[in-house]
Amino acid sequence: MKKITLLLALVAILVPSLALADEFQVAVASNFQAPAELIAAQFEADTGHKAILSFGATGAFYAQIQNGSPVAVFLAADAKTPKKLEDEGLAKAGSIFTYAQGALVLWSATEGYVDDQGQILKTGDYKHLAVADPARAPYGEAAYELLRAWDLLAGLEKDQRLVTGENISQTVQFVETGNAELGLVALSQVWKDGQFKGGSGWKVSPDLYSPILQDVVILKAAENDTAAQAFADYLKGDKAREIILSFGYTLD
């Protein structure tokens, strides 16, 4: 009898907490896929709430949200897109904050191919350079800024040496599969715990492109969703911040 009573007491405690658990949709910029997966898993373990993640280009998500996509939280690769959504009345007012600052890197899947100053980009000792579509991906915008700063863009376009990915993940794939010897990609995709995960790379000097501030925003349809708000808040916590830093991002 005591065992039954104890069991019922445990059920009474657990059922309300389970009932409060919720699922919600999170749109995540491609560069943040690996840390987002780790953060979402830890968040679910800590809260019981489940973040359903989808990954893609920031510009593509913006268009989908405008067309009614049921996204609750949007982790963009820039600051301007969440602000546009807020200005258009599609996001919860005051919910925007910067969750990470990204970095651009010149990367090759081949060991020793990229020098520590990125001079290979100037010497032209490669056939193709992979970049993300600058109209859809902020890291593509940053890549184009660098190429213009070094007066390389016009020549690369004329000679058809640019391989353009729809998002930054596809751009990395072009380099990994050998479709391009080099790529201008997000550091987070090729970096873990203080070193390149493979190949060789040069961290592009930050003064050669605009800061890549990545902002998160809660969408209007989820402005009263406590699970979505909890996830956004979780990004500010120590566990999430530790994961974010391990992938080469910086934080305020």
Q: What is the percent of the chain where pLDDT is above 70?
A: 92
Say what the pLDDT of residue 118 is.
95
Domain architecture of the chain: domains with CATH:
2-101+212-246 (3.40.190.10), 104-203 (3.40.190.10)
pLDDT in tens, 33-79: 999 999 999 999 999 999 999 999 999 999 999 999 999 999 999 99
| Residue 6 reports pLDDT greater than 50 | no
Distance from C-alpha of 126 to C-alpha of 4, rounded to nearest angstrom: 72
Over residues 124-129, mean pLDDT: 96
Say what the pLDDT of residue 140 is.
97
**How many Cβ atoms from other residues are within 10 Å of residue 150's Cβ?**
12
Rounded to the nearest integer, the mean pLDDT of the chain is 92
The one-letter amino acid at 205 = S
Q: Are strands 129-132 and 182-186 parallel, antiparallel or unpaired?
A: parallel
Say what the pLDDT of residue 21 is.
67
Roughly how many angstroms between the first and final C-alpha of the chain, as a whole number?
56
Lowest mean pLDDT among 6-20, 89-103, 188-202, 238-252: 6-20
Say what the pLDDT of residue 252 is.
73
Which residues are CB-contacts of 68 (< 8 A; sequence separation ≥ 6)?
none
Backbone angles phi, psi at 151, to 5 degrees: 55, 45
Which residues are CB-contacts of 150 (< 8 A; sequence separation ≥ 6)?
121, 122, 208
Which residues are CB-contacts of 227 (< 8 A; sequence separation ≥ 6)?
21, 22, 23, 24, 47, 49, 72
pLDDT in tens, 216-232: 999 999 999 999 999 99
Which residues are CB-contacts of 69 (< 8 A; sequence separation ≥ 6)?
25, 27, 61
